[in-house]
Amino acid sequence: MGKYRCSRPIHPGELLKEEVEFRGLKQKTLAHQMELSYKILNDILNCRRPVTPSTAMLFEAALGISAEMLMRMQLDYSMRQTAEEPLFAARLKKIRQCVAAL
């Protein structure tokens, strides 16, 4: 768990939203151009939905932002969120203690 506490991972939606706003793009227009529902686009930009490989590739085509970078950001963010869930963290601790006793 320690390696996930070094810095705050950024949901890729934060980066994408900043880029969309910087370019002065309307979300509805972008969603239409990407052939993506407005709700999905808005949820991603507001960090309520993860970036998937297909949406990452759509963003790369529309905005020129690397799909691989977006997926790495999503993975880092998801790993941190999972590691910080109290029940899951307790489960990991228990497993590590059992393995250490072997």
Rounded to an integer, what distance in angstroms lies between the CA atom of residue 69 and that of residue 61?
13
User: Comparing C-alpha atoms, which of 89, 81, 79, 13 is closest to residue 44?
Assistant: 13
Better-predicted residue by pLDDT, 38 or 8: 38
Rounded to an integer, what distance in angstroms lies between the CA atom of residue 63 and that of residue 72?
17
Q: Which tens digit of pLDDT belongs to each residue from 25-82?
A: 999 999 999 999 999 999 999 999 999 999 999 999 999 999 999 999 999 999 999 9
- The torsion angle over the Cα atoms of residues 72, 78, 79 and 84, rounded to 10 degrees, is 150
Rounded to an integer, what distance in angstroms lies between the CA atom of residue 102 and that of residue 87?
23
- pLDDT (0 to 100) of residue 1: 43
- pLDDT (0 to 100) of residue 4: 47
